[in-house]
Structure 1
């Protein structure tokens, strides 16, 4: 993987610096896979998993930290995310980042985990002609009680353990990353958040993966995608929690590589 670099976008009325890292950029004719991290993730928290996927799939890769995460511009102290925060990432931040990196003519594959999976789905819904396919790991498509319960436990842990120190290894501001994510998920109006109706416009291939033991959501999440998106493929992995790429990386890499290779061949 290359040394992280930074792109600047204008968002929420101010310049925002986005931490980016390229994988195998020399593969100029290879498909581009863009990795979107989870609700507390960053480039560093992916570790070497994106590089493994790109090597197996003979692809290029782009990994980035969303605003408020990693080494990207932290969330402003008075910036409170609203119920549409994932829509804004999909509809505003991602297009602006692609433009800043001169990727407007690319049709990437999006590889998203958790909130990143939801953002990937929302992007493909809004811009169906700008994406070749999706691989989503443990995405959220509506809010479940089990999700809220575990996010409440995370709040307690952040206030009473060394979790801020641990997160500080991956983010310039652990508070920015944690409270931006935690407060909106525990905001009462967010309980009604549901993006299922938006899937009707998705036209690209979708592979949805979830652990059977996912502590942040039931299998109704990925099965709900399959009910709406024609041809969506599902992979439900036993002995696997909310992070399939950490719990069962080999299975995820094999499945994702086969999916990208198969559908790449079918793409004109």
Structure 2
């Protein structure tokens, strides 16, 4: 069954920030201050979007929507990142809300992008990511989720398969692109981006025939690396999609040396020096440790 873009997309891979974190009952639950609740329950994602295999794919029945995190510093960071991500793409902000469940904190280890212009971000995933990798991890996760918003808006990706892989790999690429862009997170050191990415989306999956397949670990690494490389240039969402799959499909099927990207000759000249590297990441010839040390 082909994945339909109109359904909300779960960032299943972020649920593997730590394999144990998805079902670790020992994860410390922070003290919760009073929050501004909206007296609403978060909408549940469609069943077809169940892609995280270590947590329940739905928000718990006792979870609540909030307009803030535990403190103003965290809330302001996420709101400012949301504004910066959307602005970089020339768009207005989607609705960003946070999900907490004081009676089952770990159930909020999730983030979901909805086709109705909303992103819901769980308390548990935010604070675990911040504790283990710092602000850049949550910036990356949010940029990935906003990548799904771009897919909803512009009918992307233009490449379709019988699994979720093109959607998720492109969202990984969108995140890598944002982290590099000067008007984005402006992080030109790939070592820091790679470390954050490995923390947040470390393993991918090998269930290649499952509708929820997100790509193998090496494929996901090559996708974020490709997004980072494309961040050398200012691209629209449609231009990004064209170039992302132009090079990514070539890396996957080995035909990249047989074609020239005549629509973007300057970008193509830049990318040619990295094509062998991308293929080596995708095949696993470049290890996870070597990936973290790329320039």
Whether TM-score is above 0.5 comes out as no
The TM-score normalised by the length of structure 2 is 0.28
Structure 1 or 2: more strand by fraction: 1
Higher CA-based Rg:
2
Q: TM-score, normalised by structure 1?
A: 0.30
